[in-house]
Amino acid sequence: MTNTNEFINHLASKLGRPTPTETPPPVEISVPQYRLSNTEERASIFLQNWQALGGKGAIVKSENDMLQCLKEWFGDLPITWFKDNPQALIAWDMLPSIAESAFSTLNWPLTRYTQSSLDPRDRYSIAAHAELGITGSDLGIALSGTIVMNSDPLRGRVVSLLPPRHLAFIETTKIRNNLFEVLEEISALGTPPAAIEMISGPSRTSDIEMDLSIGVHGPIEVYVVVIDN
Amino acid sequence: MTMFNLTTDQRVDKALANNFLRQATRRATDRLRNNKYKASDELGNWEEWRNAGETIRKHVIANLDFYLHQLIEQMEQRGVHVHLAKTPADAVGIVRNIVREHDAKNVLKSKSMISEEIHLNHALEEDGAAVVETDLGEYIIQIAGEPPSHIIVPAMHKTRQQVADLFEPIAGHALSSDTPTLTRFARIQMREQFLRGDIGITGCNFAVANTGSIVMVTNEGNGRMVSTLPRVQITLMGMERIVPSFRELDIMLNLLARSATGQRLSSYTTILTPPKKSADSDGPEEYHLVILDHNRSEILGDKLFRTALNCIRCGACFNVCPVYRQLGGHAYGSVYSGPIGSVITPLLEKDWKKWGHLPYFSSLCGACTEGCPVRIPLHDLLVKLRMRKTQSGHTPQVEQQIFKAYRYLFTREKTLRRALRLGAHLQRPFVRNHRITGGPPPLSNWTKSRTLPMVAPKPFMQIWADLNNKR
């Protein structure tokens, strides 16, 4: 076990000068960043890129659109799942209100992840046995078809990870052009949350003979509803 | 690890005789390289991105002491246990202690090249812990007991049938060798392990100094599992793997994902700022960061080779290297293969006897330097390493004698002429169609796989003199 000062001083001696006492001036960076002209365009490019990665997605303008879209994707499956497993639909404590009311109208009973059990191991097991994990998103990236989620006591990181299907909601106004804008916005908030998860499509691997295979560990099916508010 | 017991020549012969390996390596590197071209072209001006990447890496390395100190302070303020390891043995000892203290039986690992570098799994298994590699490729080579053959696609050298054969004893029944079946088997098998894990060990693609964050990218989602489910997490990090802030992280993540697999971003990019907040429902309660030196500080102090620390481990140099393409990774004999492995292994391990062959695993064509997203002059470093090796006196006696003879002849005109005439005479038995074939050692080392141009019957100096006489 080496002591910090000793370790750092050793590096300074290798660099042939004492360790700077102030943050070195940041390097200048100038790269051509990807930009789109408006929210509508960002939403549509985001969706295209998400779909190109193998995710399903739709832009909805009303609760009616939302109902149709959910019915089209899942049909009566949630009801069937529920019969076998009352905790088949596992969700964050709070979802966008239009999504909450769509679930009540459809009568799909959601289990709130953080309240599902007091013991974290039990909660993980509940999420692992669920059929669908339902989350919101904090930000999105149009260029890479990415949703960004910050950890939070009312959420649960595994809701977007353990179930075989992940359904996320994102408002069009939360979609940014590129990763730079997202990171800039997050760093403006001060200390980052314990985990920032950026998800671009389903879990994938090409480890066996470079053959693309979907869903080795994370969700196999990923869905995003873009809410045009 | 049988590969490690062979000599360099034996490993090379074995690789060259393995048609599947060579075909698979070609196919995989072609695919990865073409994906990279697509992903880098669409950015608009890749060269500007490379410039930015190079500038950032150089800045970080030139101020590594400052940023590392900042990272450690940030981490410790929040209650992360930071451990500094001078040597691989120190790092293994630190991890071993943590595992013992928690009496951990199930250790989950996501991909970490540092863990390969320090040969961690073996030590933990000796202590009685079950260590599970959760990256599909790493899982396959763990069962096979082999080192990775590519930094991004570690099981590139395995056929699907070999993978099925490796999985069958675990499954307890026959498995078909199609990819969905094999992937599904790994998913089910690993699921149970994930939920049982006591300690998670991850690697670290980047550490953000001013926020004290660890950034990890995976495509499978195993990195998220390992960093979320177990109660205790250990992150292993090479000490150079730093960016100053989120601003620079943008550039590095773009360069990494695009250069490694041609993706705009990897499927899962996770930024951890541990430990979890007390009210958070998920995530490890105890977090350890192990920072490894292992002669990186020596490289830092060596101006000739300092740029080797700029590497972001994307594997782009593997995918353009004509030598890697022919041999795959195991022929190198080292944990890090490909051009960057040939550069850093001799520097990290400081053992010319064992690793002196690596700087010669290159045609010096420079494709690696072209391909590097942070512009490390790899082929240049390989030449300089050859120089270092020669200076250290580790080149074979024969080679030393040949170069002495070369110097002797080329500094004495008359003797050189005489030698050339003698050569023209001596070569006769070996000349076929104006090329030298066969011959005794050391000549035969060259001629067993190619030919040499013959010594001209009339030397150039003679032709020149004759031309002058005719005038």
Chain A interface mutation, best of B258, B282, B291, B304, highest count of A Cβ atoms under 10 Å: B282
Q: What is the nearest CA distance from B241 to chain A, expressed in angstroms?
A: 15
Domain assignment present for residue B352? The answer is no
Contact assignment for A198 to B269 by CB distance below 8 Å: yes
| CA B425 from centroid of its chain's CA atoms | 47
What are the backbone angles phi and psi of residue B6, rounded to the nearest 5°?
Answer: -85, 160
Establish whether this prediction's ipTM goes over 0.85: yes
Predicted confidence at residue B439, as pLDDT, reads: 87
The answer to whether the CB atoms of A151 and B276 lie below 8 A apart is yes
Tally the domains of chain B: 2
Contact (CB<8Å) A141/B265: yes
Asked if A79 is an interface residue toward chain B (Cβ–Cβ < 8 A), one would say no
Q: Which of B63, B221, B271 sits opposite A217 (nearest CB)?
A: B221
Do B163 and A208 count as a contact with CB atoms less than 8 A apart?
A: yes
- The last residue of a domain, from among B297, B323, B349: B297
Query: Can you tell me whether residue B319 is helix, strand or coil?
Result: helix
Residue from the list B187, B225, B265 with its beta carbon closest to the beta carbon of A146: B265
Domain-embedded: residue B140: yes
The ranges assigned to domains in chain A are 37-203+212-227
* Structural domain harbouring B438: 410-470
pLDDT of residue A1: 52
Does B420 fall in a domain? yes
CATH of the domain at B103: 3.40.50.10420
Which pLDDT value is given to residue B1? 43
**B107 lies in some domain:** yes
What residue of B is the nearest CA neighbor of A203?
B220
Residue B181 lies in a domain: yes
Residues of A whose CB is below 8 A from B97: none
Write down the architecture of domain A37-203+212-227 according to CATH. Answer: 3-Layer(aba) Sandwich (3.40)
Q: Which pLDDT score is estimated for B268?
A: 98
DSSP track, B33-53: HHHHHHHHHTTS-HHHHHHHH
Please judge whether A15 and B45 are an interchain contact, meaning their C-beta atoms are less than 8 angstroms apart.
Answer: no
Q: What does DSSP assign to residue B361?
A: S
Strand spans (E) along chain A:
56-60, 89-91, 111-112, 132-135, 139-141, 146-150, 165-171, 175-176, 195-199, 204-205, 213-214, 221-227
User: pLDDT value at position B471?
Assistant: 78
CB–CB of A196 and B271 under 8 A?
yes
**Among B297, B323, B357, residue at a domain's last position:** B297
**Full DSSP string of B182-227:** HHHHHHHHHHHHHHH-SEEEE--SEEETTTTEEEEEESSSHHHHHH
Instruction: State the Cα angle at B412 between B406 and B415, rounded to 5°.
Output: 85
Q: How far apart are CA B253 and CA A150, in angstroms?
A: 18
Does pLDDT of A42 surpass 90? yes
Q: Looking at B282, B297, B312, which one is the last position of a domain?
A: B297
Chain centroid to CA B263:
20
Q: Residue B455: inside a domain, yes or no?
A: yes
Q: Encode pLDDT of A118-176 as tens digits.
A: 999 999 999 999 999 999 999 999 999 999 999 999 999 999 999 999 999 999 999 99
- Give the distance from residue A59's alpha carbon to the nearest chain B alpha carbon, in angstroms: 22
- Express each pLDDT in A78-130 by its tens digit: 999 999 999 999 999 999 999 999 999 999 999 999 999 999 999 999 999 99
- Rounded distance between C-alpha atoms, residue B60 and residue A205, angstroms: 32
* Residue B364 falls inside a structural domain: no
> Omega into B442 within 30° of 0, i.e. cis?
yes
Residues B195 and B66 in one domain: yes
Asked if the C-beta of A48 comes within 8 angstroms of chain B's C-beta atoms, the answer is no
What are the residue ranges of helices labelled H in A89-151? 97-106, 120-129
Q: Give the pLDDT score at A52.
A: 97
Give chain B's count of helices (H) and strands (E). Answer: 23, 13
**Residue in B85, B190, B195 nearest the CB of A217:** B190
**Per-residue model confidence as pLDDT tens for chain B (471 residues):** 456 689 999 999 999 999 999 999 999 999 999 999 999 999 889 999 999 999 999 999 999 999 999 999 999 999 999 999 999 999 999 999 999 999 999 999 999 999 999 999 999 999 999 999 999 999 999 999 999 999 999 999 999 999 999 999 999 999 999 999 999 999 999 998 999 999 999 999 999 999 999 999 999 999 999 999 999 999 999 999 999 999 999 999 999 999 999 999 999 999 999 998 888 999 999 999 999 999 999 999 999 999 999 999 999 999 999 999 999 999 999 999 999 999 999 999 999 999 999 999 999 999 999 999 999 999 999 999 999 999 999 988 888 898 999 999 999 989 998 998 898 899 999 999 999 998 888 888 888 889 999 998 888 888 999 999 987
Q: Which pLDDT value is given to residue B3?
A: 65
| Shortest CA gap A64–chain B (Å) | 31
In DSSP terms, which residues pair with A197 in a beta bridge? A149, B270
Which residue does chain B place closest to A162, by CA atoms? B225
Stretch (H or E) spanning B269:
strand B268-272
Chain A residue with Cα closest to B197: A121
Residue B354, token pair as written in the block: 């064992």
Nearest to B29 by CA among B316, B254, B314, B264: B316
A38 interfacial to chain B (CB closer than 8 Å) = no
Residue B371: inside a domain, yes or no? no
From A189's Cα to the closest Cα of chain B, the distance in A is 11
What does the DSSP 8-state code read for residue B230?
S
